Amino acid sequence: MLLTIDVGNTGMGLGVFDNNELRVTWRMATSMSRMPDEYAALLFPLLGEAGLRTSDITDVCLCSVVPPMIGTLEDLFTRHFNTKILIVGAGTKTGMKIRMDNPREVGPDRIVHSAAAYHLYGGPLIIVDMGTATTFDTVSKSGEYTGGAISPGLQTGAEALFARTAMLPRVKLVRPSKAIGTNTTTAMQSGIVYGYVGLIEGMIARIQRELPEKARVILTGGFTDIFSKETDVIDVVNPNLIFQGLRMVYDLNKSV
């Protein structure tokens, strides 16, 4: 089985494929202070709960925007799983040309989910990924990555609001019942959630105007369940796009 891993700045997603079927997914916090054995202690029980053994994991494909985590995870899978990792980076086949001033600047996760989206849905596309940052990526009709935009993520913005104000509390990020909040908590929830709906709708409208033809919009990452219900500019919701992309990239590179 193939274990796919997407390491973000605050969270890490893991998905296990049994051939082409995504069998199970997990999410855990990204922590550079954890040792390989600590990650093993977290991962082993999750495998057991899913009815899997360490010997079932024969291959691993990883993309990471946190470079120090790569060595930790390499050590984890070499020692505890006796398998090597395919690390997505410069030189990895993705099936996608990158039309950027400096292609090496683009996060590997953005290329992976863009390649997966094009493979699944064709082009042109706008991919909105709601993670630590909210990213907007564009793919041409012919399957070229043409750029995008980066803004603070929903959780990042909410934490900054709490950390930089004296009287505003940390609030749960849920859909408010209305835009006009009647207390501090609902007012913050409205401003954060509906504010990001406005951000997404405004950015998509601007990006669409710059494209030669109307693009299909794909939503992925965290909080997809909230935002897909609050706007009609999203065409497809796929929270597992990054895992599907990593499996696709692994298949392209497994003979190397």
Positions marked active-site: 109
Judged by phi (left if over 0) then psi (alpha if -120 to 50, else beta), residue 147 lies in: left
Contact between 189 and 176 (Cβ < 8 Å): yes
Contact between 154 and 134 (Cβ < 8 Å): yes
Tokens representing residue 107 in the block: 């996060």
Tokens representing residue 20 in the block: 């082409």
Residue 124, preceding bond cis, omega within 30 degrees? yes
User: Which SS3 state, helix, strand or coil, does residue 135 take?
Assistant: strand
Q: How far, in Å, CA of 127 to CA of 241, rounded? A: 10
**Could you give the strand order of the β-sheet that contains 236-237, starting from the edge strand earlier in sequence?**
97-98, 144-152, 133-139, 125-130, 216-221, 236-237
Q: How far, in Å, CA of 98 to CA of 8, rounded? A: 21
Which residue intervals of the chain are DSSP H helices?
A: 36-49, 67-80, 108-121, 154-163, 184-210, 224-227, 241-253
